[in-house]
Amino acid sequence: MSSPAVGRVLSNPLRPVILAAAKSNAARRLVTGAPPTRRIVDRFVAGTTRADVLSVAARLLGSGRAVSIDHLGENTLDIGQARATVAEYRELLADLGTLGDITPDTFTGTPAVEVSVKPTALGLSLGPDGPKVALDHAREICAAAEDTGAWVSIDAEDHTVTDDTLGIVRDLRADFPDVGAVVQAYLRRTEGDCRELAGPRSRVRLCKGAYDEPVSVAYRDRAEVDASYLRCLRILMAGDGYPMVASHDPTFVTAVDPLAAYAGRGRTGFEHQMLFGIRDGEQHRLATAGRRVRVYVPYGSQWYGYLMRRLAERPSNLRFFLQSLVSRD
């Protein structure tokens, strides 16, 4: 058991430090070079190869859960790398189509397979033409997903690209109306975004947010973030779209049912989403109870930034990491 001092060290004040380390090359070399790191990566990341993630996806689908697969990578500044990302998603979708009919019963009529795509991995940051490059690349992925029968969600990143990201979602929906948007409750603008996005056929993933944002654009206090999440959840549940409740917090997992009932939604009118490696038992419990549960499954060699954001989110994740670093097991 950790001492009170360790508990304080692992509390929220470390979040900015960890997120700063996510951008540090020195910290990256230290963490990626530590022998125990592999155990941490294996907990939160499905593997580095497509074969790895396909194996994990088949297992999750067979357990009654759906998946949203993310090929890790962001902030691409090379058009060749952006093209390689598109190629990887196209090949991933083709391979997912070979898994067979293992759609969980609770997802009948709803794709159990989705891919999540970050716009900066598709070239959004490539200068003035970046938004068009990312949009064209996203169109390719959406077309491949349509052929496979899968969904696509355009992932959220830091606030500096939110306008461009939601613009890409709007443009894509002209041809691919089921494209999902991802919004982050800690951004002050998100209530307004939820109102705009809550129309018919609109899929919206609501998460708390994982980047280090300034107070001018984001709530920094946990209670304020939680209150914003609940306000946004009410808006989405009252709307005509399909809410995707991305939270491990028992408060919000419990809050979903009464809000859905008040809005006249059945159990198939929304879904829970949780991260691979976090609260696996709760994921099983919800799925066994007939709830729609989708697991966000990342893979690829560019896992460092993703891992650091997971450690920053929850003190228990960081404690697990530090204990692994000093353990000889």
d(Cα 81, Cα 122) in Å, to the nearest integer?
A: 8
* The token pair that represents 162 in the structure block: 């939110």
Q: Please name the residues in contact with 166: beta carbons below 8 A apart, sequence gap of 6 or more.
A: 181, 193, 197
Instruction: Extract the runs of DSSP E, i.e. beta strands, from 135-175.
Output: 151-154
What are the residue numbers of the active site?
A: 155, 205
Give bridge partners of residue 114 from the DSSP assignment.
68, 151
State the CB neighbour count (10 A cutoff) for residue 147. Answer: 12
Residues in the chain: 329
Instruction: Extract the runs of DSSP E, i.e. beta strands, from the chain.
Output: 66-71, 113-117, 151-154, 180-184, 203-207, 242-246, 271-275, 293-299
d(Cα 314, Cα 328) in Å, to the nearest integer?
A: 24
Q: 120 and 160 in contact (C-beta within 8 Å)?
A: no
Alpha carbon distances (Å) from 19 to 80, 112, 155, 213, 327: 28, 32, 18, 10, 24
